[in-house]
Structure 1
Amino acid sequence: MPVPGPVTILGGFLITSSRAEVHPSWGVRVAGGKIAAIGPNEELLAAPDRGEVIDARDAIISPGFINGHMHMYGILSHGISVKNAPAGFYSFLEDFWWPQVENRLDHNLVATTTAWACVEMIASGITTFCDILEAPAAIPGALEVEAGIVRRAGLRAILSFEACERISQENGELGLKENAGFIRACQGDPLVKGLMSVHTTFTCSPEFLIRASELARELGSDLHMHLSESPYEPQYCRQTYGKRPVEVYRDLNILGAHILASQGVDLAAGEIELLAASGARLVHMPLSNCEVGGGIAPVPQLLAAGVPLGLGTDGYINNFFEVMRGAFLIHKANMKSPQVMPARTVFGLATDMGARALGEPELGRLEPDCPADLITIKADTPTPINAENIFDQIILFRNPGDVVDVMVNGKFLQREGRLLTLEAAKVKAETRDAALAFWR
């Protein structure tokens, strides 16, 4: 695919990262799929190599959002009727999620849900995501199905299969093989890569977890797992192993800098210390944790301990502005303090901090030589935006409809509010038809 020519985007504001000064009347020049220059609009406009000029001086230029944890197939459950509401987290899995959703997925459903999830994510300003697919009847080959759609959409993605032994040991091994083969197949791909992934301590034997970790290390991959999404897993580990989940991983010699955990809702203080000391990273899902009644993750404590954190939708509510609002508000209420989780911190979880949590530190920033993954957001709020309130204005008072442009690797996926890479109406109709059949 040819690399687009140079483009200069003039901005009303430029956010380079959550940790840097916000620049009014600055823009970016993009060339070769990377950020070639940033600076005052006048200087960029006067440069001889400015290329095509796009006037976004009525907008904010921001790094694209990083969705650190996604289940694209979860779209099939949006609005689904459940005869008897699950009584708890494990009941949610055993009585509903596993038999009625995950166990019924095939390649066609994987393709359809991937396409609509990409439409939703692009509309929400997400440029990079990490997806965890659990579809025990859809392997082998399910990750390649996902990858084909994702490449067409143009998003940057880390794709994995959630291997476990809840169906059988043989199916678990097939899941590990699915991940290993995909990791190898994506070497050299500029946008799509693989990830070794398992489910939890209560669906995987210690031997299986060790094997997954060893495979990940051999392949140079991270290892992902769901961690203490509710009190159920800590209770299971105490009853089975006499210790908490993070201690189980430590004693299996799995805990380390290659670990990407998700959820982390029910963590003891000692477990937070272990995660921080090991270099493990974690992704926070504020809204889906509420849906399953799992609890509220100790995110302020994790941040204080230095655990790298990202933010994810979990395939539940894929409006990333809503997810950021959840992270901004829920912890203030939980800790009874309006000073907890300031908007700049939440924006960091959604951009540069989230990129580091995924092991992709070059993403989530708009600085020279970084990948040109950016969005523009309308700045026409009823009250003025300035360098001091810009993060509050974005998180609390902007929505997907305010995302104008979406660019990944220097290529526009959305331009002036119009999706360029997928036919949204067609994908929506296909998703609706698939969901109707699936629900029946």
Structure 2
Amino acid sequence: MIVKKTLLKNLHVINPCSDPALLENAYVAISGDTIESVSSSEPSGEFDVVHDLCGKTALPGMINAHHHLYSALAVGMPLPKNNPRNFNEILEQVWWKMDLALDHDSTQACFEAGLVDSLKAGTTTIIDHHCSPSYIEGSLSLLAETSEKLGLNISTAFEISDRNGQEIFEASLQENLAAVSKFSATQYVHPMLGLHASFTLSDASLRKIRDAAGKLDSWGIHSHVSEDKADEADALNKGYNSVLERLEEFNLLNENGLIIHGLHIKDSDLELIQKHGSQFVHNPSSNANNRVGMTPNKNLNKLKSGLGTDGMQSNMLREGKEGMLIRSSHLEGGEDSVDYMQLLFKNNAEIASKLFSGRLGGSRKLGYILPEHQADLAIFDYLPRTPISASTIFGNIFFGLSGLPCDVMTRGEFRIRDYQLLQVSEQEIKANAVAQAKKLWSNFN
């Protein structure tokens, strides 16, 4: 097979958590979907395509470590008649009504619109947690196919819960298992087992999930944990010391798992996560929106937390900045904060590389503009107003790069040039999304 050779030149390359963090006027040589070299001098050899980026600035394609693409049509949807008094009522009056109303067409519109918005924001890898109880079978295949059209890396999971009855529980479990079977050898898809929060799953259901997982060669759960205090209260009422101890009791924690939120976990739970090597993901804008609290600094630092959006948005630069500002608003002068640059660019890269490498038994490197890494780049037409250097990158990224990237490359191919999508029509996708949103809203209001 002939492998395409591509050269990007005259590009300022930023790798925020690498050394050097900044390489100006760089050359990036790409072979197929993989970066071969990043250098300050022109590499030797012939290239099929040479792109002069004219002094633009490149960041690694960003990674969303926890997303809900199915919420893409929620923007501006009607509010419930009665103002929810707590997190459980938010779920009951808003999200559980919306996800139950999703059918094939509205789900597809969510995937298309959500993935387009992600790509436009320079997000090239998405770890998704899906729910559409009225459209289960085939939904994860649809997500993988839609992601493939746009050239994105996608991790799939379907939310398993008891809240809609036994039949939907069984169908949700089977959809996860089918995705694991179908995509086990697929390079750009990583299937996981999606669990809703522990308080919507009985012990019998957790046992069924574990029995099914035990028959797989490799698996990991993707689960909301301790997002609200009610989740911990439920675990105590069921006879367990915590949500995580309950999951461990059913052997559902391992090095391939994703633990999402964890606002109210105990010190012993931190040790459990470290013991099993599970990944931990923080979602600050969603936590603020739902008024469930703020994840303690020690949880994020001790567990090398990743950063996700929990469906609130697709722009990871914005999520990082908002997370930093939300946290600062709760701190006193002189108190240490959390390094959101590290969460976004270092920890997310490690999480995604580990997950996408695991099933194929090889090494997938994501999240850096470095040799042997997948060629995923977000390129900005950025003219800094202050000196840019390794020591000023933080300020330039979170307070300078405020717009969308003008060019986005995934797998060594441009998907966006001059702000325009190349493989699909954004106008058609968004027009369909508007039509589907109107129908969806009418179905649950």
Given the two structures, how large is their TM-score scaled by the length of structure 1?
0.92
Alignment of 1:101-140 (within 5 A): 101-140=98-137
Shift of 1:354: 4.5
Distance 1:74 1:354 in 2: 23
CA spacing shift, 1:13–1:387, aligned 2, 3 Å = farther
Q: Output the amino acid matched with 2:28.
A: V
Shift of 1:342: 3.3
Identity of aligned residues (%): 26
Distance 1:18 1:211 in 2: 41
The residue number in structure 2 matching 1:24 is 24
Distance 1:179 1:386 in 2: 45
| Structure 2 residue 202 is matched with structure 1 residue 202 | no
* CA deviation vs aligned residue, 1:348-398 (integer Å, no higher than 9, x gap): 257524425746561112222221122212331332322211232112221
| C-alpha contact 2:187 2:356 (8 A) present in aligned 1 | no
| C-alpha contact 1:324 1:347 (8 A) present in aligned 2 | yes
The residue number in structure 1 matching 2:78 is 81
Distance 1:349 1:69 in 2: 15
The residue number in structure 2 matching 1:419 is 421
* CA deviation vs aligned residue, 1:138-179 (integer Å, no higher than 9, x gap): 021111222222111221111111111111122111111101
Alignment of 1:180-259 (within 5 A): 180-217=177-214, 218-259=216-257
Shift of 1:80: 1.2
Q: Output the amino acid matched with 2:322.
A: G
Distance 2:123 2:213 in 1: 27
Q: Output the amino acid matched with 1:238.
A: L
Shift of 1:308: 3.8
Distance 1:303 1:215 in 2: 31
Alignment of 1:303-382 (within 5 A): 303-305=300-302, 307-336=303-332, 337=334, 339-342=336-339, 344-348=341-345, 351-356=348-353, 358=355, 360=357, 362-382=365-385
The residue number in structure 2 matching 1:35 is 35
CA spacing shift, 1:193–1:415, aligned 2, 3 Å = same
CA spacing shift, 1:200–1:36, aligned 2, 3 Å = same
| C-alpha contact 1:237 1:243 (8 A) present in aligned 2 | yes
| C-alpha contact 2:63 2:344 (8 A) present in aligned 1 | no
Work out which of the residue numbers 138, 151, 160 in structure 1 matches 2:157.
160
CA spacing shift, 1:138–1:356, aligned 2, 3 Å = same
Deviates more, 1:349-358 or 1:188-197: 349-358
Shift of 1:88: 0.5
Distance 2:185 2:351 in 1: 23
Shift of 1:212: 2.2
| C-alpha contact 1:18 1:352 (8 A) present in aligned 2 | no
| Structure 2 residue 60 is matched with structure 1 residue 60 | no
The residue number in structure 1 matching 2:4 is 5
Give the unaligned 5+ runs of structure 2. 358-363
Work out which of the residue numbers 391, 394, 401 in structure 1 matches 2:394.
391
Deviates more, 1:182-191 or 1:31-40: 182-191
Distance 1:252 1:5 in 2: 48
Distance 1:409 1:392 in 2: 29
SS of the aligned residue for 2:415 comes to strand
Shift of 1:288: 0.8
SS of the aligned residue for 1:229 comes to coil
Distance 1:249 1:301 in 2: 22
Q: Output the amino acid matched with 1:416.
A: D
The residue number in structure 1 matching 2:173 is 176
Distance 2:356 2:411 in 1: 18
Q: Output the amino acid matched with 2:107.
A: V
| Structure 2 residue 144 is matched with structure 1 residue 147 | yes
Aligned length: 432
Q: Output the amino acid matched with 2:227.
A: E
Distance 2:121 2:145 in 1: 21
* CA deviation vs aligned residue, 1:252-308 (integer Å, no higher than 9, x gap): 23222122111112222221222122211111111011111111112x313432x24
Give the unaligned 5+ runs of structure 1. none
Shift of 1:11: 4.4
CA spacing shift, 1:358–1:399, aligned 2, 3 Å = farther
| C-alpha contact 2:188 2:356 (8 A) present in aligned 1 | no
* CA deviation vs aligned residue, 1:228-252 (integer Å, no higher than 9, x gap): 1111101111222241111212222
Q: Output the amino acid matched with 1:18.
A: C
Distance 1:332 1:11 in 2: 37
Distance 1:311 1:109 in 2: 27
Shift of 1:225: 0.8
Q: Output the amino acid matched with 1:122.
A: L
Deviates more, 1:282-291 or 1:269-278: 269-278
Work out which of the residue numbers 284, 287, 291 in structure 2 matches 1:286.
284
Distance 2:73 2:284 in 1: 20
Shift of 1:331: 2.5
Shift of 1:343: 5.2
| C-alpha contact 1:89 1:292 (8 A) present in aligned 2 | yes
CA spacing shift, 1:158–1:200, aligned 2, 3 Å = same
Given the two structures, how large is their TM-score scaled by the length of structure 2?
0.91
Shift of 1:90: 0.5
SS of the aligned residue for 2:78 comes to coil
Alpha-carbon RMSD across the aligned residues, in angstroms, is 2.1
CA spacing shift, 1:287–1:385, aligned 2, 3 Å = same
Deviates more, 1:284-293 or 1:329-338: 329-338
